[in-house]
C-alpha cells in the first residue's frame, strides 16, 4: 500500500477557480463594451472633424463640437481597456487548444492595435490642447496626418490581422459557425484593402467584434454555465 507524500505546512493544493467556467460571458461583455465605446468615439470624430487636414478653424472654437471631440478622445482609453480584457478572456477560453503561431499573431496584433489606438488619441488630444492655447500653425496639419495614418493605416491593418487570427483559431476549435467564419475573413479583407477609400470603413472592426461577442454570449446562455458555489 502506497503511503501518500505529506505536503509541507502552509502549502495548499492549487485548484482551478470555479468562476473560470463563466469566462465566455466576460469576453462577450468586454467585446460589446469595446464595440460601443469605439464606435461612439469614431462616429463623433468623423461627424465633427472636417476631412481637410489643414482645416483648424471654426470647429475648434465651437464649444459643442470641441466638447464632442474631447468626449470621443476620453472614450478611447476605456475602449482600449475593454479590448485588452476581451483579448485576455478569449485567450483564456482557448486554453490548451491554442496554436502557438496563431496565438502569437492573435496576441501581438491585438496589443499593437491598442498601442496605436492610444497613440492616436494622445496625438489628437495634444493637438486639441495646443489649438486652445495658441496658434498651431504648421503643427496642426502634420499632427492630423500622423494621427490619421496611425489609425487608418497601421491600427486598422493590425485589426485586420487580429480578425484573421481570431477567426482562424475559433474555426479550428469549432467555436465559430460557418457564417461567423465568413464574416471574420470578410471583415479582415475589407480592413486590409479598403481602408482609406472611405473613413467609415473603420467601423467595420467594432461591428465585427460586437457580432462575435453577441455570438459568444448567446452560445454561453444556450449551453448553460453553472453558477459558482
Q: pLDDT band at 143, cuts 50/70/90?
A: confident
How does pLDDT run across 85-138, given as a tens digit for each residue? Answer: 888 877 776 665 566 787 888 889 999 999 999 999 998 888 887 776 656 666
Q: Residue 91's pLDDT is what? A: 77
Structural domain boundaries in the chain: 23-223
pLDDT at 3: 53
Q: What pLDDT score was predicted for residue 63? A: 73
CA 148 to chain centre: 17
Distance CA 228, CA 172 (A): 29
pLDDT in tens, 153-189: 899 999 999 999 999 988 888 878 899 999 999 999 9
Query: Which residue has better confidence, 51 or 201?
Result: 201
Dihedral sign (CA 195, 76, 120, 118): negative
To 10 degrees, the CA torsion angle through 146, 106, 207, 68? -40
Q: Is the pLDDT of residue 12 over 90?
A: no
> What's the CA gap between 44 and 209, in Å, rounded?
19
Name 113's Cβ contacts closer than 8 Å, sequence gap at least 6. 83, 155, 158, 159, 162
Amino acid at each position: 500500500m502506497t503511503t501518500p507524500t505529506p505536503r509541507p505546512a502552509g502549502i495548499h493544493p492549487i485548484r482551478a477557480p470555479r468562476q473560470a467556467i463563466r469566462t465566455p460571458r466576460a469576453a462577450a461583455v468586454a467585446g460589446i463594451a469595446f464595440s460601443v465605446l469605439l464606435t461612439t468615439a469614431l462616429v463623433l470624430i468623423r461627424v465633427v472633424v472636417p476631412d481637410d487636414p489643414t482645416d483648424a478653424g471654426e470647429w475648434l472654437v465651437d464649444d459643442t463640437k470641441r466638447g464632442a471631440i474631447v468626449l470621443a478622445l476620453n472614450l478611447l482609453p476605456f475602449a482600449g481597456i475593454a479590448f485588452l480584457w476581451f483579448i485576455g478572456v478569449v485567450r483564456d477560453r482557448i486554453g490548451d487548444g491554442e496554436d502557438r503561431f496563431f496565438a502569437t499573431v492573435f496576441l501581438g496584433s491585438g496589443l499593437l492595435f491598442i498601442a496605436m489606438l492610444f497613440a492616436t488619441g494622445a496625438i489628437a488630444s495634444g493637438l486639441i490642447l495646443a489649438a486652445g492655447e495658441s496658434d498651431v500653425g504648421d503643427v496642426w496639419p502634420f499632427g492630423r496626418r500622423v494621427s490619421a495614418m496611425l489609425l487608418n493605416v497601421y491600427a486598422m491593418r493590425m485589426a485586420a490581422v487580429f480578425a484573421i487570427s481570431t477567426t482562424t483559431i475559433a474555426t479550428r476549435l469549432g467555436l465559430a459557425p460557418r457564417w461567423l467564419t465568413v464574416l471574420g475573413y470578410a471583415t479582415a479583407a475589407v480592413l486590409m484593402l479598403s481602408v482609406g477609400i472611405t473613413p467609415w470603413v473603420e467601423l467595420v472592426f467594432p461591428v465585427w467584434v460586437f457580432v462575435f461577442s453577441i455570438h459568444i454570449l448567446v452560445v454561453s446562455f444556450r449551453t448553460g454555465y453553472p453558477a459558482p458555489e
